Amino acid sequence: MNEDSPKGRTVLAMVLKGYPRISETFISNEIRLLEKMGFDIHIVSMRQPRESFSHRSIREIRAGVTYLPESMVSGLPSLLWHTLACMVERPRRFFSGLKLMASRFALAPKKHTWLKHWMQACFMVRKTKSMGLAHVHCHFAHTPTTVGMYAAHLEGVPFSFTAHAKDIYTQDPRRIEDKIERAKFVVTCTKYNETHLSGIAPGGKPIHCVYHGINLSLFDPKGRSTKARPPYTIMTVARFVPKKGLDTVLKAIRLLRDRGLDVRYVLAGDGADKARVEGWIREFGLEDVTEMTGTITHDDVIEHYRKAHLFVLGCRLAEDGDRDGIPNVVAESMAIGVPVAATDVSGVPELVEHEKTGLLCGPDDPEALADNMQRLLADDELRARVIPAAREKVLAVFDNEKLIHDLGEIYISHDVPCRR
């Protein structure tokens, strides 16, 4: 085997944390649209599916999937076999890769994972060695990029990655800098992130901002009135994690009820903080007005949008540095004609412009959030101005067909093969 001969390869490997994932519609949409452009994609997933169902868009994806062993316990025989075979088949790249891994060991927060990521990379390149990988792209800048970077080194091909939110802000900046310097290019989903990443690694490596975008054909307002009348339906779609600020939202809803507003609250999602969320609902006396749907399909989410008068998110900077980018559910609400009250965290103001396309306030301020929610529910003139402006904003900057075409052109400009 010639370790330095990637010529004639055509496959773009996409390394993902998990596939398919209900909360990552933007990734499946990206893969689907890149395939339509002519990219030959193979998915490499670090985890098996965690949900028992998936979105309809998954069925349109042609790419095959390779699942990496998740555990060093149950997966050790397979990981060890492919690692040893990789050493025999490509010794020069294997041992230079070990030096690369060793150089990064001091930056690893969990020392026991460094070997697993290396062995997963060995597993990946052996399972895909007949496919002709030309480029490795990784979604999320933490473990998928670590595995993808090692695999690309072993294959002798370039790699790149998309940095999103938690993966940027909860790891040592030196690890991000190292990955940026080794990558051929970087993509991120907000201008806020782009500025942050450019500050971490100011060496001139290409960092491209491409919004996730949404499928606008799914979010037609269908002539719905801009006016709202009680009982008001308020909606949130979110993972139950600290950065979503669900306690702030629930406090604000309690304030609205104390002010005499007749409200109903639909909370779609699930997550590690479910017990705390249920506790807040009881603490604030909102059991009789709150519907917790759990994790639901995208089609069901859209049906809830159609019945909602207001969408609300209380995003905050979490203690570990985690924060949102621009949640796609904000764009979806704006596109379908549901006004948004949110907080001015991270990239949210890039889409929700205060007093123009929605209302913003600072995080952890339930009083201010309640004020904005009340205005967007009861002020017909404000709703008549904000709702169409919000949809126009999304149409202008969040069309995933256009954005994924732009992303595809970025790939092509960096010599990633595409049949077109």
**Shared-domain flag, residues 260 and 278:** yes
- 16 φ/ψ angles, rounded to the nearest 5 degrees: -120, 155
User: Helix 113-127 to helix 76-89 angle, to the nearest 10 degrees?
Assistant: 70
pLDDT at residue 334 tops 80: yes
Interacting residues of 147 by C-beta distance below 8 A, sequence separation 6+: 15, 44, 46, 68, 117, 120, 121, 124, 138
- Asked whether residue 142 is assigned to any structural domain, the reply reads yes
pLDDT at residue 106 tops 80: no
Q: How far, in Å, CA of 386 to CA of 372, rounded?
A: 12
Nearest to 140 by CA among 267, 297, 21: 21
- Looking at residues 121-139, what average pLDDT do you find? 96
- Asked whether residue 6 is assigned to any structural domain, the reply reads no
Q: Residue 330's domain is classified under what CATH number?
A: 3.40.50.2000
Q: Which residue has the tokens 């002020």?
A: 379
Tell me the per-residue pLDDT of 337-363, one tens digit each, with 9 for 90 and over: 999 999 999 999 999 999 999 999 999
**Shared-domain flag, residues 316 and 208:** no
- Looking at residues 79-92, what average pLDDT do you find? 96
- Asked whether residue 2 is assigned to any structural domain, the reply reads no
CA trace torsion 162, 219, 359, 208 (10° rounding): 20
Q: How far, in Å, CA of 246 to CA of 280, rounded?
A: 9
- How many Å is the Cα radius of gyration of the chain? 23
**Shared-domain flag, residues 245 and 335:** yes
Identify the domain containing residue 300 by its residue range.
216-397
State the burial class of residue 82 (Cβ atoms within 10 Å of its Cβ: 0-12, 13-18, 19+).
buried
- Asked whether residue 165 is assigned to any structural domain, the reply reads yes
DSSP conformational letter for 59: G
Give the C-alpha distances (Å, rounded to integers) separating 368 from 43, 101, 208, 363: 44, 48, 34, 9
Tell me the per-residue pLDDT of 356-372, one tens digit each, with 9 for 90 and over: 999 999 999 999 999 99
Q: ω before 231 within 30° of 0 (cis)?
A: yes
User: Three-class SS of residue 155?
Assistant: helix
**Shared-domain flag, residues 163 and 24:** yes
- Looking at residues 384-395, what average pLDDT do you find? 98
Q: How far, in Å, CA of 62 to CA of 293, rounded?
A: 31
Give the C-alpha distances (Å, rounded to integers) separating 193 from 131, 168, 188, 214, 362: 33, 8, 6, 19, 19
**Shared-domain flag, residues 303 and 231:** yes
- Asked whether residue 134 is assigned to any structural domain, the reply reads yes
Reported as a pLDDT band with limits 50, 70 and 90, residue 406 is very high
Question: Residues 217, 199: contact at Cβ < 8 Å?
Answer: no
pLDDT > 90: what percent of the chain? 84
Beta strands in 191-332 (DSSP E): 207-209, 232-237, 263-268, 290-294, 310-312
Number of CB atoms found within 10 A of residue 52's CB: 7
Reported as a pLDDT band with limits 50, 70 and 90, residue 7 is low
- List beta partners, residue 264: 233
- Asked whether residue 25 is assigned to any structural domain, the reply reads yes
**Shared-domain flag, residues 255 and 384:** yes
Question: Residues 314, 344: contact at Cβ < 8 Å?
Answer: no
Which pLDDT score, from 0 to 100, does residue 114 have? 82
Tell me how many domains the chain contains: 2
Q: How far, in Å, CA of 198 to CA of 205, rounded?
A: 9
**Shared-domain flag, residues 314 and 205:** no
Does the CA dihedral 404-238-186-201 come out positive or negative? positive
**Shared-domain flag, residues 164 and 276:** no
CA trace torsion 345, 307, 392, 322 (10° rounding): 20
Nearest to 47 by CA among 71, 73, 17, 75: 17
- Asked whether residue 96 is assigned to any structural domain, the reply reads yes
**Shared-domain flag, residues 349 and 377:** yes
Give the C-alpha distances (Å, rounded to integers) separating 138 from 179, 274, 291, 315, 405: 11, 29, 36, 26, 18
**Shared-domain flag, residues 187 and 43:** yes
Measure CA 152 to chain center.
23
**Shared-domain flag, residues 225 and 327:** yes
- Asked whether residue 109 is assigned to any structural domain, the reply reads yes
pLDDT at residue 54 tops 70: no
Reported as a pLDDT band with limits 50, 70 and 90, residue 25 is confident
Interacting residues of 214 by C-beta distance below 8 A, sequence separation 6+: 26, 29, 328, 331, 332, 335, 394, 398, 399, 400
**Shared-domain flag, residues 130 and 174:** yes
Helix residue ranges per DSSP H, 57-183 = 76-89, 91-104, 113-127, 143-155, 166-169, 173-182
pLDDT at residue 315 tops 50: yes
